[in-house]
Amino acid sequence: MTGTFINIAAVLLGGFFGLLFGARLPERVKQTITAGLGLFTAVVGVKMFFETGNAIIVLGSLLLGGLLGEWWKIEAGLESLGGWLERRVYRNQAEGPESRGTANFVRGFLTASLLFCVGPMTILGSIQDGLTGNYELLAIKSVLDGFAALAFASTLGAGVLFSVLVILAYQGGISLLAAQFNNILTDAMMAEMTAAGGVLLLGIAISSLLELKKIRVGNFLPALALAPLIVWVVGLLE
């Protein structure tokens, strides 16, 4: 769970500086930093892909995973989750200065929690951290989340800092669950799952960080489970 603790520290640090100085940070600086993180994330994704011992397995897992993801509408489900939670919070909310202050706190907590926990990088990074102890992806995510916390805290207040409770429960839970499968997955399975995850990471960089082309990366998440499964099937047929 090292990556989760790094993520929590980054959000707290970013949120703290956001409360103090966030409004003074120029938008162009934020854009440049995000672009740099996007380029770095893309390179890490390519590096992970080269872990593969059989690129056809990675391709097969991505195609089958993409079909399943489109069928299950994973990306749309992740996006609608935020809207559903926000509607639940604001449905019966009263007006007035005091209620607006409470609303701002709740909105900051809710918005930050969703941004930091609902996404492919969260799931992929937590799985990798739990399985191998490699928290590189969560470290990258931590930098992104730190700057996002800075921006949110400067406008939505201290509620953003309390999102670390959700990060601890959600990301930490995924990592602990993934660790239970450590004795089941072989080195070959891990290599292909890592390679498939690298392609997803490249997609996140292109779609969300560099904003070159919109890609429904969330719909490819089943590939992370299919890659080791295909390795196991191929092993049976050999």
Question: For the chain, how many structural domains are there in total?
Answer: 1
Structure confidence at residue 81 as a pLDDT band (50, 70, 90) = low
Is a pLDDT exceeding 90 seen at residue 204? Answer: no
Give the pLDDT score at 23.
Answer: 66
Distance, CA of 99 to CA of 105 (rounded, Å) = 10
Residue 120 has pLDDT above 90, yes or no: no
Among the ranges given (12-21, 68-77, 118-127, 213-222), the one the predictor scored with the smallest mean pLDDT: 118-127
Give the separation between CA 206 and CA 46, rounded to whole angstroms.
12
Write b or e for each residue in 176-199: b if 16 or more Cβ atoms lie within 10 A of its Cβ, otherwise e: eebbeeeeebeebbbbbbbbbbbb
Confidence band of 118 (pLDDT split at 50, 70, 90): low
Per cent of the chain over pLDDT 90 is 33
Task: Give the residue numbers spanning the domain of 98.
Answer: 2-237
Task: Residue 113: name the closest of 156, 69, 158, 165 by CA.
Answer: 165
Q: For residues 185-197, give the mean pLDDT.
A: 89
How far does CA 104 lie from the centroid of its chain? 24
Mean pLDDT of 122-130: 89
The DSSP-derived string for 1-43 is -HHHHHHHHHHHHHHHHHHHHGGGS-HHHHHHHHHHHHHHHHH
- Mean pLDDT of all residues in 89-114: 61
pLDDT of residue 114: 66
Among 37-41, 102-106, 126-130, 137-141, which stretch is predicted with the lowest mean pLDDT?
A: 102-106
Q: Kindly state the percentage of the chain with pLDDT values over 70.
A: 85
d(CA 50, CA 198): 9
